[in-house]
Amino acid sequence: MENLSLKEISELIRSQALPFQELRREMTKRIIGQDDLVHKAVVSLLANGHILLEGVPGLGKTLTVKTLAGLIKASYSRIQFTPDLLPGDIVGTPIFQPKEGTFTVKKGPVFANFVLADEINRAPAKTQSALLEAMQERQVTIGEETFKLEEPFLVLATQNPIEQEGTYPLPEAQVDRFLVKLKVGYPSKKAELEILDAYSGENNHGRIEPILDPREILKARKTAAQIYLDPKLKDYIIEIVFSSRFPHEHNLPKLKGLISYGASPRATLYLAGAAKASAFLEGRGYVTPEDIRFIAFDVLRHRILLTYEAEAENIAPEDIIHEIFETVGVP
């Protein structure tokens, strides 16, 4: 897509954003009391980024993924991660054909537009790493053959933060490949009453009908990439990321000794892309500081590794990010 003026990009977005706004509305009808989660899931879809959902059981993490996939005319697969799951169970495996004396590839469930990696931290690192190539390079190598994955391709993984037995923490290299880590909290009393009325007995929302075509997603992503990001906001993103790496150089001396590793350059790219996607969903052709702040905690929380000292003081990555935003001036 050639470079467009701000007026042209704004007019284009107003028409292209409508189906995604409808997608968000339809999701909130089924995912009750989790409007923020739904909003950020749609932003991640537009920003072409994988999603890690963390929360205790029963909060609608799996339902969110199934609903999102069901509202889009695309393929969907679910992988239930267990300790005995093997890499071949995810990507596929070569099968020997004795009559022909050759191998044919049987593709695994990763060959879908939307892949739900349910309870991803229940499988060991060897199995978790089977997703790495697919998530980063949008391709899968089985034996000597490499297969391109069909776009859009999105991995949506869930994990339970409270269980420790039989779980394997995700390695940092894999966690960094998720655009966002969304923490799913409890709904309000009012929302829980709505959930009770909506899902108790025989009352349900009926069958989900797709309302969005994958081609619309790919077209919208190209448009979102053209959204204007002011140089001052680019500097703002850089300041946020560098403050997590070198806090003592950015007027944050009290964070020194609390951060083991700061956010990677991937965080800079993802934060800019997610802010543009947020602006797109709001029907705007330009990014505001609010777009950056809206998604920043979710982009950064899994990319800031704390020291033992911080963990001993019960300091969370969110506390670090909050301090950074309090110190870094808004342009």
d(CA 96, CA 126) in angstroms, rounded, equals 24
Contact between 302 and 175 (Cβ < 8 Å): yes
pTM, two decimals, is 0.90
Q: State residue 330's pLDDT score.
A: 87
Mean pLDDT of 187-195: 88
**Angle value at C-alpha 41, between 234 and 51, nearest 5 degrees:** 85
**Angle value at C-alpha 111, between 124 and 21, nearest 5 degrees:** 100
Q: State residue 204's pLDDT score.
A: 58
Say which residues have a Cβ less than 8 Å from residue 78's Cβ, sequence separation at least 6: 66, 109, 115, 116, 118
Contact between 130 and 91 (Cβ < 8 Å): yes
Q: Of 299, 294, 300, 295, nearest to 244 (Cα)?
A: 300
Q: Is the pLDDT of residue 272 over 80?
A: yes
In which residue are the tokens 């989900």 written?
208
Q: Is the pLDDT of residue 149 over 90?
A: yes
Q: State residue 198's pLDDT score.
A: 81
Least confident of 1-15, 36-50, 136-150: 1-15
- Which domains does the chain carry? 1-226 (3.40.50.300), 228-331 (1.10.8.80)
**DSSP helix/strand/coil, 255:** helix
Q: Is the pLDDT of residue 154 over 90?
A: yes
Q: Is the pLDDT of residue 237 over 90?
A: yes
Q: Is the pLDDT of residue 189 over 80?
A: yes
pLDDT over 90 percentage in the chain: 56
Contact between 227 and 285 (Cβ < 8 Å): yes
Distances (CA, A) of 237 to 37, 41, 178, 331: 23, 21, 18, 10
Q: Return the exposure string of 182-219: e unless at least 16 CB atoms fall within 10 Å of the residue's CB, then b.
A: bbbeebeeeeeeebeeeeeeeeeeeebeeebebebbee
Q: Is the pLDDT of residue 319 over 80?
A: yes
Say which residues have a Cβ less than 8 Å from residue 170's Cβ, sequence separation at least 6: 52, 120, 121, 128, 159
Q: Is the pLDDT of residue 182 over 90?
A: yes
Q: State residue 213's pLDDT score.
A: 92
Task: Give the side-chain half-sphere CA count within 13 A for 106.
Answer: 8
d(CA 187, CA 225) in angstroms, rounded, equals 33
Q: Rank 38-52, 157-171, 189-203 by mean pLDDT and report only the highest.
A: 38-52
